[in-house]
């Protein structure tokens, strides 16, 4: 099974090309997310120009991601009690969850997070129909929307 993704082509325009890529299977501790939308960010341009380091052709950018849970990999702990179809956002910070920074609620300082940022570093992102991400980066929409739902 394949899906469409906007993949990195090279460091000159056009930076992206739409390709059919194999639908990923979520690995251990990962969740497969069906993408609802991704933001296009100026950081994408920095990425394309190599400002964050070299980017391999075929890499899928997109680090502002919302979607729905599609599937669970083995050994997912699922502390949120997520079910297939639940709306989620995907954090571009993917901490390890165990270091001193994570333990103190400062996941943005986690050393592990610097090497895995969906759509920016190490992990394919959301300019695609699907992506797999470590479950620690998958946040239920209900936890985010508690600040916004009262306008509905």
If the CB atoms of residues 36 and 93 are measured against Zn ion, the closer one turns out to be: 93
C-beta of 136: minimal distance to Zn ion in Å? Answer: 9
The tokens describing 31, both together, are 């969740």
* C-alpha torsion 44→97→100→65, nearest 10: 20
Binder of Zn ion out of 95, 118, 119, 125 (CB under 5 A): 95
C-beta of 30: minimal distance to Zn ion in Å? Answer: 17
Binder of Zn ion out of 102, 121, 123, 138 (CB under 5 A): 102
The tokens describing 121, both together, are 């570093």
Residue 134 as a binder of Zn ion (CB under 5 A): the answer is: no
C-beta of 107: minimal distance to Zn ion in Å? Answer: 6
Residue 144 as a binder of Zn ion (CB under 5 A): the answer is: no
Pick the piece of the chain touching Zn ion (CB under 5 A) from 37-45, 87-95, 124-132, 133-141: 87-95
Residues in contact with Zn ion by CB under 5 A are 95-96, 99, 102, 110
């Amino acid at each position: 099974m394949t899906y469409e993704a906007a993949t990195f082509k090279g460091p000159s325009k056009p930076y992206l090309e739409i390709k059919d890529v194999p639908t990923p299977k979520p690995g251990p501790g990962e969740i497969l997310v069906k993408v609802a939308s991704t933001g296009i960010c100026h950081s994408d341009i920095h990425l394309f120009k190599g400002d964050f380091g070299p980017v391999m052709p075929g890499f899928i950018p997109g680090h502002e991601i919302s979607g729905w849970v599609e599937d669970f990999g083995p050994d997912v702990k699922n502390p949120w009690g997520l079910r297939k179809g639940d709306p989620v956002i995907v954090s571009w910070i993917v901490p390890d969850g165990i270091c001193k920074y994570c333990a103190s609620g400062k996941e943005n300082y986690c050393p592990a997070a610097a090497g895995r940022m969906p759509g920016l570093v190490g992990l394919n992102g959301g300019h695609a129909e699907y992506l797999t991400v470590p479950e620690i980066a998958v946040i239920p929409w209900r936890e985010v929307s508690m600040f916004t739902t009262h306008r509905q």
